[in-house]
Amino acid sequence: MARFRQRKCKICSEKFQPVFPNEQWCSQEHKEEYAIQLYRQKNKKEEQARQRERRQKEVANRDKLKARKLAIKPRSYWIQQAQRAVNAYIRERDRDLPCVSCGTYTSSQWDAGHYRTTLAAPQLRFDERNIQRQCIVCNQHKSGNIVPYRVELIRRIGQAAVDAIESNHDRHRWTIEECQSIRDEYKEKLRELRAREVA
């Protein structure tokens, strides 16, 4: 009968002389203990696999629910999302400039103020030329403080660009897809702008 090399017991680590090639224990007691250990390891792996699968299903279900919720969001929600992204970009773009209307460099809050309002000219609501950093007082308490806004806007972007803004009466109804695209575009532009400032 072939003799097998000595090996360590899987339970006590003592060396023993195996009789069979698959023998991993030094005694009957340790054989039973090792079998229980293997059974527990197998159960643990199966439980981990079940938990992993459960987590993956939960994530997939959350993603589906999120997608369904977004799918039923009204157009106004997406206009708001796009406007928020554009405004954040404008505030960052103009962060070293004073208020377009009053010229202050200090404000408790900075807005992205429209020269032609979103109600009067919704087609220009995302036009960068039509939006400048503005202090909260001028934007919200002085209805945009438009007269000095126009003077400074001409200085910043030129008479021709201001004339183009003022003469634009092409009504446009923004679609959900357009708003989603604008939101993504301006989030990316903001990231790039901040990256350039850090570099």
Evaluate if residue 174 carries a pLDDT over 90: yes
Determine, yes or no, domain membership for 66. Answer: no
Does one domain contain both 89 and 16? no
Determine, yes or no, domain membership for 69. Answer: no
Does one domain contain both 55 and 85? no
Percent of the chain at pLDDT > 90 equals 81
* Model pTM above 0.95: no
| 35-87 per-position pLDDT tens digit | 999 999 999 999 999 999 999 999 999 988 888 887 789 999 999 999 999 99
Q: Higher-confidence residue: 14 or 150?
A: 150
Does one domain contain both 112 and 84? yes
Domain count for the chain, please give it.
2
Determine, yes or no, domain membership for 68. Answer: no
Percent of the chain at pLDDT > 70 equals 99
- With cut-offs at 50, 70 and 90, classify the pLDDT of residue 100: very high
- With cut-offs at 50, 70 and 90, classify the pLDDT of residue 127: very high
Determine, yes or no, domain membership for 67. Answer: no
Mean pLDDT score of the chain, rounded to an integer?
Answer: 94
Q: How far is CA 24 from the centre of its chain?
A: 53
Determine, yes or no, domain membership for 83. Answer: yes
Does one domain contain both 134 and 104? yes
pLDDT in the model for residue 2: 64
Does one domain contain both 92 and 142? yes
- Residue-range definition of the domain harbouring residue 129: 75-198
Determine, yes or no, domain membership for 43. Answer: yes
Does one domain contain both 156 and 95? yes
Evaluate if residue 1 carries a pLDDT over 60: no
Does one domain contain both 56 and 137? no
Determine, yes or no, domain membership for 168. Answer: yes
Does one domain contain both 91 and 38? no
Average pLDDT over residues 114-142: 97
| 16-25 per-position pLDDT tens digit | 988 888 899 9
Final residue before a domain boundary, out of 38, 61, 84: 61
Determine, yes or no, domain membership for 158. Answer: yes
Final residue before a domain boundary, out of 36, 61, 86: 61
